[in-house]
Structure 1
Amino acid sequence: MSIKVIGTGFGRTGTDSMREALTILGFGPCHHMSEVIANEEQKRLWRALAKGAAPDWSELFAGYASCMDWPSAHYWRQLIEFYPDAPVILTWRSAGSWWESFERTILAGISQLQDQEALGISLIAKQVFGGKAHDRATAIALYEANVAAVMATVPPERLLVHKLGDGWETLCAHLRVPVPDRPYPNRNDTREFQAQFGLNRRC
Structure 2
Amino acid sequence: MGLSVIGAGPSRTGTTSLKEALEQLLGGDCYHMSVIPGHPFDLGADWTKAVRGEPVEWDKIYEGYVAAVDWPTSMCWDELITHYPDAVVILSQRESAQEWYESVAATLLPVSRMAVANRWTGDGCGLTELLERFAGSEQWDDSERLTKAYDQHLAAVRESVPAERLVEWKPQDGWEPICQALGVEVPDKPFPWLNPRSDWTFSPV
The one-letter code of the counterpart of 1:165 is Q
| Number of residue pairs aligned between Structure 1 and Structure 2 | 195
Q: Following the alignment from structure 2 to structure 1, what is the Cα–Cα distance between the partners of residues 88 and 150? A: 21
The equivalent position to 2:110 in structure 1, one of 102, 105, 108, is: 108
Q: For 1:165, what is the secondary structure of its paired residue?
A: helix
Secondary structure of the equivalent of 2:173? coil
The AA in structure 2 aligned to 1:154 is V
Matched residue SS, 2:147: helix
1:145 equivalent in structure 2: 152
Name the SS of the counterpart of 1:148 in structure 2.
helix
Query: 1:42 Cα shift?
Result: 6.2
- Residue by residue over 1:85-108, the C-alpha shift from the partner in whole angstroms, topping out at 9 and shown as x without a partner, is 001000010111100000111111
Bigger shift: residues 78-87 or 161-170:
161-170
Which residue number corresponds to residue 99 of structure 1? 101
User: Any gaps of 5 or more consecutive residues in structure 2?
Assistant: none
Provide the secondary structure at the position in 2 that maps to 1:127: helix
CA distance in 1 between partners of 2:159 and 2:53 (Å): 26
Of Structure 1 and Structure 2, the greater helix share is in 1
Which amino acid letter does the alignment assign opposite residue 133 of structure 2? Q
Structure 2 Cα separation of the partners of residues 25 and 99 of structure 1: 29
Tell me the distance in 2 between the aligned counterparts of 1:42 and 1:28: 22
Secondary structure in structure 1 of the residue aligned to 2:70: coil
What residue number does 1:71 align with? 72
Query: In 2, distance between residues paired with 1:22 and 1:115?
Result: 31
Q: Is residue 161 from structure 1 mapped to residue 161 from structure 2 by the alignment?
A: no
How high is the TM-score relative to the length of structure 2? 0.88
Q: Give CA deviations for 1:18-52 in whole Å, capped at 9, x if unaligned.
A: 0000001015311111011468x963432343355
Amino acid at match of 1:102: V
Amino acid at match of 1:185: P
The ranges of structure 1 where at least 4 consecutive aligned residues each deviate by more than 6 angstroms after the TM superposition are none
Gaps of 5+ in 1: none
The percentage of aligned residue pairs carrying the same residue is 36
Residues 1:24 and 2:24 are matched in the alignment: yes
> Is the contact made by 1:27 and 1:66 (CA closer than 8 Å) also made in structure 2?
no
